[in-house]
Structure 1
Amino acid sequence: MTCPSSLHRPEAVVELGSLVRSDRVVGQFSRFVFVGGVSSAVYALLYWLLNGLGDVPANVVGSVISSMLANEMHRRISFHAGQYVGFWTAQWEGGALAALGLIATSLALSWFNAVADDPAVLTEILVIGLVTATIGTLRFIALRWVFRPRPA
Protein backbone atom coordinates (compact mmCIF):
# COMPACT_ATOMS: atom_id res chain seq x y z
CA MET A 1 0.00 0.00 0.00
CA THR A 2 1.20 3.50 -0.79
CA CYS A 3 2.06 5.61 2.18
CA PRO A 4 -0.75 8.17 2.63
CA SER A 5 1.78 10.94 3.22
CA SER A 6 3.22 10.44 -0.29
CA LEU A 7 -0.22 11.10 -1.76
CA HIS A 8 -0.39 14.51 -0.10
CA ARG A 9 0.92 17.47 -2.09
CA PRO A 10 2.39 20.23 0.03
CA GLU A 11 0.20 23.33 0.11
CA ALA A 12 3.08 25.50 -1.11
CA VAL A 13 3.31 23.44 -4.33
CA VAL A 14 -0.44 23.65 -4.90
CA GLU A 15 -0.47 27.39 -4.21
CA LEU A 16 2.50 28.04 -6.51
CA GLY A 17 0.87 26.06 -9.32
CA SER A 18 -2.39 27.93 -8.86
CA LEU A 19 -0.54 31.24 -8.80
CA VAL A 20 1.34 30.48 -12.04
CA ARG A 21 -1.91 29.49 -13.77
CA SER A 22 -3.79 32.53 -12.46
CA ASP A 23 -4.32 35.80 -14.26
CA ARG A 24 -2.74 37.75 -11.43
CA VAL A 25 0.40 39.73 -12.25
CA VAL A 26 2.79 37.09 -10.86
CA GLY A 27 1.13 34.32 -12.88
CA GLN A 28 1.09 36.31 -16.08
CA PHE A 29 4.67 37.49 -15.61
CA SER A 30 5.95 33.96 -14.96
CA ARG A 31 4.25 32.73 -18.14
CA PHE A 32 5.51 35.81 -19.99
CA VAL A 33 9.09 34.99 -18.95
CA PHE A 34 8.62 31.35 -20.05
CA VAL A 35 7.33 32.43 -23.47
CA GLY A 36 10.18 34.95 -23.70
CA GLY A 37 12.67 32.17 -23.02
CA VAL A 38 11.17 29.95 -25.72
CA SER A 39 11.05 32.73 -28.31
CA SER A 40 14.56 33.88 -27.36
CA ALA A 41 15.85 30.35 -27.93
CA VAL A 42 14.17 30.36 -31.37
CA TYR A 43 15.72 33.78 -32.04
CA ALA A 44 19.21 32.63 -30.98
CA LEU A 45 18.99 29.55 -33.20
CA LEU A 46 17.84 31.61 -36.20
CA TYR A 47 20.50 34.26 -35.56
CA TRP A 48 23.20 31.60 -35.38
CA LEU A 49 21.95 29.83 -38.52
CA LEU A 50 21.56 33.05 -40.52
CA ASN A 51 24.67 34.87 -39.28
CA GLY A 52 26.40 34.23 -42.59
CA LEU A 53 24.03 36.78 -44.15
CA GLY A 54 25.41 39.44 -41.80
CA ASP A 55 24.63 40.53 -38.26
CA VAL A 56 21.80 42.94 -38.98
CA PRO A 57 19.92 40.73 -41.52
CA ALA A 58 20.18 37.77 -39.14
CA ASN A 59 18.86 40.01 -36.34
CA VAL A 60 15.93 41.23 -38.45
CA VAL A 61 14.83 37.77 -39.66
CA GLY A 62 15.30 36.21 -36.22
CA SER A 63 13.41 39.06 -34.56
CA VAL A 64 10.45 38.95 -36.95
CA ILE A 65 9.94 35.19 -36.74
CA SER A 66 10.53 34.88 -32.99
CA SER A 67 8.35 37.95 -32.31
CA MET A 68 5.43 36.52 -34.27
CA LEU A 69 5.77 33.29 -32.31
CA ALA A 70 6.00 35.20 -29.01
CA ASN A 71 2.98 37.39 -29.84
CA GLU A 72 0.81 34.34 -30.42
CA MET A 73 2.11 32.52 -27.35
CA HIS A 74 1.59 35.62 -25.20
CA ARG A 75 -1.98 35.92 -26.50
CA ARG A 76 -2.81 32.32 -25.71
CA ILE A 77 -0.52 31.39 -22.80
CA SER A 78 0.73 34.49 -20.99
CA PHE A 79 -2.47 36.49 -20.96
CA HIS A 80 -5.18 33.86 -21.68
CA ALA A 81 -6.61 36.35 -24.19
CA GLY A 82 -7.33 33.98 -27.07
CA GLN A 83 -11.06 34.54 -26.80
CA TYR A 84 -10.75 38.33 -26.53
CA VAL A 85 -7.90 39.24 -28.85
CA GLY A 86 -7.56 37.93 -32.40
CA PHE A 87 -4.38 36.72 -34.06
CA TRP A 88 -3.91 39.87 -36.18
CA THR A 89 -4.62 42.24 -33.30
CA ALA A 90 -2.00 40.46 -31.20
CA GLN A 91 0.47 40.64 -34.08
CA TRP A 92 -0.20 44.35 -34.57
CA GLU A 93 0.07 45.30 -30.89
CA GLY A 94 2.94 42.95 -30.07
CA GLY A 95 4.58 43.65 -33.42
CA ALA A 96 4.66 47.39 -32.82
CA LEU A 97 6.35 46.79 -29.49
CA ALA A 98 8.69 44.25 -31.09
CA ALA A 99 9.61 46.77 -33.80
CA LEU A 100 10.84 49.13 -31.09
CA GLY A 101 12.82 46.22 -29.65
CA LEU A 102 14.24 45.44 -33.10
CA ILE A 103 15.43 49.02 -33.45
CA ALA A 104 16.99 48.91 -29.98
CA THR A 105 18.73 45.56 -30.58
CA SER A 106 19.95 46.63 -34.03
CA LEU A 107 21.41 49.84 -32.60
CA ALA A 108 23.02 47.94 -29.72
CA LEU A 109 24.42 45.32 -32.10
CA SER A 110 25.78 47.96 -34.47
CA TRP A 111 27.37 49.86 -31.57
CA PHE A 112 28.84 46.66 -30.09
CA ASN A 113 30.34 45.62 -33.42
CA ALA A 114 31.83 49.10 -33.82
CA VAL A 115 33.60 49.02 -30.44
CA ALA A 116 34.46 45.31 -30.19
CA ASP A 117 37.12 43.79 -32.40
CA ASP A 118 35.53 40.85 -34.26
CA PRO A 119 33.24 39.64 -31.44
CA ALA A 120 32.07 36.03 -31.30
CA VAL A 121 28.49 35.25 -32.29
CA LEU A 122 27.75 34.04 -28.75
CA THR A 123 28.91 37.38 -27.35
CA GLU A 124 26.65 39.21 -29.80
CA ILE A 125 23.74 37.01 -28.74
CA LEU A 126 24.45 37.88 -25.08
CA VAL A 127 24.42 41.62 -25.87
CA ILE A 128 21.14 41.23 -27.73
CA GLY A 129 19.80 39.19 -24.80
CA LEU A 130 20.50 42.00 -22.34
CA VAL A 131 18.74 44.55 -24.53
CA THR A 132 15.89 42.12 -25.19
CA ALA A 133 15.36 41.45 -21.47
CA THR A 134 15.02 45.18 -20.84
CA ILE A 135 12.66 45.65 -23.78
CA GLY A 136 10.74 42.53 -22.73
CA THR A 137 10.03 43.95 -19.30
CA LEU A 138 8.69 47.14 -20.86
CA ARG A 139 6.69 45.01 -23.31
CA PHE A 140 5.07 43.08 -20.46
CA ILE A 141 4.01 46.33 -18.82
CA ALA A 142 2.50 47.58 -22.07
CA LEU A 143 0.70 44.32 -22.89
CA ARG A 144 -0.54 43.88 -19.31
CA TRP A 145 -1.84 47.38 -18.67
CA VAL A 146 -2.07 49.27 -21.99
CA PHE A 147 -3.20 46.62 -24.48
CA ARG A 148 -5.08 44.42 -22.00
CA PRO A 149 -8.10 42.58 -23.41
CA ARG A 150 -11.48 43.90 -22.46
CA PRO A 151 -14.29 41.33 -22.37
CA ALA A 152 -17.36 42.14 -24.46
Structure 2
Amino acid sequence: MSEDKINPAAVYLAVLARAQAARAELEERIRRKLSGEVLNRRSGALADSIDVGLEEDGDGIALVASSAGVAYAAIHEFGGKTGAHEIAAVGGKALAFVAGGTQRFAKSVRHPGSAIPARPYLSTSVREVAEGLAAGLKQAALEALRKD
Protein backbone atom coordinates (compact mmCIF):
# COMPACT_ATOMS: atom_id res chain seq x y z
CA MET A 1 0.00 0.00 0.00
CA SER A 2 1.48 3.32 -0.99
CA GLU A 3 1.07 6.47 1.03
CA ASP A 4 -0.96 8.19 -1.71
CA LYS A 5 -3.76 5.60 -1.28
CA ILE A 6 -4.42 6.36 2.38
CA ASN A 7 -7.83 7.89 2.90
CA PRO A 8 -7.71 9.74 6.24
CA ALA A 9 -11.46 10.38 6.18
CA ALA A 10 -12.20 6.65 5.87
CA VAL A 11 -9.85 5.86 8.76
CA TYR A 12 -11.43 8.59 10.89
CA LEU A 13 -14.96 7.35 10.14
CA ALA A 14 -14.00 3.76 10.96
CA VAL A 15 -12.42 4.79 14.26
CA LEU A 16 -15.42 7.01 15.05
CA ALA A 17 -17.82 4.12 14.38
CA ARG A 18 -15.84 1.87 16.74
CA ALA A 19 -15.79 4.62 19.38
CA GLN A 20 -19.58 4.99 19.05
CA ALA A 21 -19.96 1.23 19.54
CA ALA A 22 -17.75 1.48 22.64
CA ARG A 23 -19.92 4.34 23.93
CA ALA A 24 -23.05 2.20 23.60
CA GLU A 25 -21.29 -0.76 25.23
CA LEU A 26 -20.15 1.41 28.16
CA GLU A 27 -23.62 2.83 28.69
CA GLU A 28 -25.12 -0.68 28.67
CA ARG A 29 -22.55 -1.98 31.18
CA ILE A 30 -23.21 0.91 33.57
CA ARG A 31 -26.98 0.49 33.35
CA ARG A 32 -26.66 -3.27 33.94
CA LYS A 33 -24.56 -2.62 37.06
CA LEU A 34 -27.20 -0.17 38.30
CA SER A 35 -30.00 -2.69 37.72
CA GLY A 36 -28.94 -5.39 40.13
CA GLU A 37 -25.43 -6.46 39.17
CA VAL A 38 -23.75 -4.05 41.62
CA LEU A 39 -26.58 -1.89 43.01
CA ASN A 40 -30.27 -2.68 43.28
CA ARG A 41 -32.44 -0.25 41.35
CA ARG A 42 -34.97 1.64 43.41
CA SER A 43 -36.20 4.81 41.74
CA GLY A 44 -33.96 4.71 38.68
CA ALA A 45 -32.68 8.23 39.41
CA LEU A 46 -29.03 7.16 39.47
CA ALA A 47 -29.32 5.27 36.18
CA ASP A 48 -31.15 8.25 34.66
CA SER A 49 -28.34 10.58 35.78
CA ILE A 50 -25.70 8.73 33.76
CA ASP A 51 -24.42 10.43 30.64
CA VAL A 52 -22.07 8.58 28.30
CA GLY A 53 -20.87 10.44 25.26
CA LEU A 54 -18.13 11.07 22.77
CA GLU A 55 -16.23 14.32 22.72
CA GLU A 56 -14.38 15.18 19.53
CA ASP A 57 -11.82 17.87 18.98
CA GLY A 58 -9.13 18.34 16.40
CA ASP A 59 -6.75 16.01 18.23
CA GLY A 60 -8.93 13.03 19.00
CA ILE A 61 -12.07 11.39 20.28
CA ALA A 62 -12.73 10.91 24.00
CA LEU A 63 -15.23 8.54 25.57
CA VAL A 64 -16.72 10.30 28.61
CA ALA A 65 -18.98 8.89 31.33
CA SER A 66 -20.43 10.94 34.18
CA SER A 67 -23.30 11.27 36.61
CA ALA A 68 -24.90 14.58 37.53
CA GLY A 69 -27.67 15.67 39.85
CA VAL A 70 -27.75 12.64 42.16
CA ALA A 71 -26.17 13.36 45.54
CA TYR A 72 -25.48 9.71 46.41
CA ALA A 73 -23.74 8.77 43.13
CA ALA A 74 -20.22 9.36 44.47
CA ILE A 75 -20.70 7.57 47.79
CA HIS A 76 -21.84 4.44 45.97
CA GLU A 77 -18.90 4.63 43.55
CA PHE A 78 -16.17 5.41 46.10
CA GLY A 79 -17.67 4.50 49.48
CA GLY A 80 -17.68 6.79 52.49
CA LYS A 81 -19.46 7.68 55.69
CA THR A 82 -22.65 9.64 56.09
CA GLY A 83 -22.90 11.98 59.04
CA ALA A 84 -25.47 11.83 61.78
CA HIS A 85 -28.75 13.29 60.57
CA GLU A 86 -32.42 13.65 61.38
CA ILE A 87 -34.97 11.54 59.49
CA ALA A 88 -38.44 13.04 59.64
CA ALA A 89 -41.83 11.76 58.49
CA VAL A 90 -42.65 13.54 55.24
CA GLY A 91 -45.55 11.78 53.50
CA GLY A 92 -47.26 10.50 56.62
CA LYS A 93 -47.83 11.40 60.24
CA ALA A 94 -45.11 9.10 61.58
CA LEU A 95 -42.20 6.82 60.75
CA ALA A 96 -42.84 3.13 61.42
CA PHE A 97 -39.97 0.76 62.23
CA VAL A 98 -39.05 -2.25 64.33
CA ALA A 99 -36.51 -1.74 67.12
CA GLY A 100 -35.65 -4.46 69.62
CA GLY A 101 -38.38 -6.68 68.20
CA THR A 102 -41.08 -4.07 68.88
CA GLN A 103 -43.03 -2.02 66.33
CA ARG A 104 -42.36 1.67 66.99
CA PHE A 105 -43.64 4.96 65.63
CA ALA A 106 -42.02 8.40 65.73
CA LYS A 107 -42.34 11.76 64.01
CA SER A 108 -38.56 11.80 63.59
CA VAL A 109 -35.45 9.83 64.53
CA ARG A 110 -31.79 10.71 64.83
CA HIS A 111 -29.75 8.46 62.51
CA PRO A 112 -26.14 8.02 63.73
CA GLY A 113 -24.69 7.87 60.21
CA SER A 114 -23.57 4.92 58.13
CA ALA A 115 -20.38 3.51 56.68
CA ILE A 116 -21.16 2.88 53.01
CA PRO A 117 -18.87 0.44 51.20
CA ALA A 118 -17.67 1.28 47.72
CA ARG A 119 -19.87 -0.28 45.04
CA PRO A 120 -18.15 0.91 41.88
CA TYR A 121 -20.41 0.87 38.85
CA LEU A 122 -18.82 3.60 36.73
CA SER A 123 -15.05 3.05 37.04
CA THR A 124 -15.31 -0.72 36.68
CA SER A 125 -17.41 -0.33 33.54
CA VAL A 126 -14.89 2.12 32.08
CA ARG A 127 -12.01 -0.29 32.82
CA GLU A 128 -13.87 -3.21 31.26
CA VAL A 129 -14.59 -1.33 28.04
CA ALA A 130 -11.11 0.23 27.92
CA GLU A 131 -9.46 -3.21 28.01
CA GLY A 132 -10.42 -3.95 24.41
CA LEU A 133 -10.87 -0.43 23.12
CA ALA A 134 -7.33 0.28 21.91
CA ALA A 135 -7.19 -3.00 19.99
CA GLY A 136 -10.67 -2.36 18.56
CA LEU A 137 -9.72 1.14 17.39
CA LYS A 138 -6.53 -0.17 15.83
CA GLN A 139 -8.46 -2.96 14.08
CA ALA A 140 -11.03 -0.48 12.74
CA ALA A 141 -8.27 1.74 11.34
CA LEU A 142 -6.46 -1.21 9.73
CA GLU A 143 -9.68 -2.46 8.13
CA ALA A 144 -10.36 1.00 6.72
CA LEU A 145 -6.82 1.12 5.28
CA ARG A 146 -7.29 -2.31 3.65
CA LYS A 147 -10.48 -1.15 1.89
CA ASP A 148 -8.55 1.51 -0.05
TM-score range, shorter chain: 0.3 to 0.5
Bigger helix fraction: 1
Q: Structure 2 length as normaliser, TM-score?
A: 0.36
Question: Which structure has the greater CA radius of gyration?
Answer: 2
Bigger strand fraction: 2
